[in-house]
Structure 1
Amino acid sequence: MSSDLSLQQIAESVTKSVLNATDKDLEGFQKIIDETIKVRESHRNLQRMIKSYSTTMIQRS
């Protein structure tokens, strides 16, 4: 069984909390989202680097 949540599941579970959140809570949540996006982009960049490195090593063999 996968523990991954869909965007819809996340949105449904967060909606009530977001509607009742204070401005300070929302600022904190925004920081979490911003950092999550950075991590995701870094992960993608790392995957590209690994793929490029692997391709280069195969071509050298």
Structure 2
Amino acid sequence: MKFISPLSWSGGKAKHFDKIKALLPAKFDKFIDLFCGGASVGLNVLDQQLCNKVVFNDLHMICILV
């Protein structure tokens, strides 16, 4: 099940998460979501437990979730 961000963001990548996930390595420690916008990619990485740490970055926010 995909996590859908509560933040509405034009140009969001939520629809493309399956394609993005296919490009990710099998195991990794930290995911840095550059240009996170609505944060749907980083939130899906956390929700699907693909790594231990996600860093969200955008012009107006920087947040690290462990």
| TM-score scaled by length of structure 2 | 0.27
Answer 1 or 2: which has greater strand percent.
Answer: 2
Higher relative contact order (Cα pairs below 8 Å, separated by 6+ residues): 2
Larger Rg: 1
Answer 1 or 2: which has greater helix percent.
Answer: 1
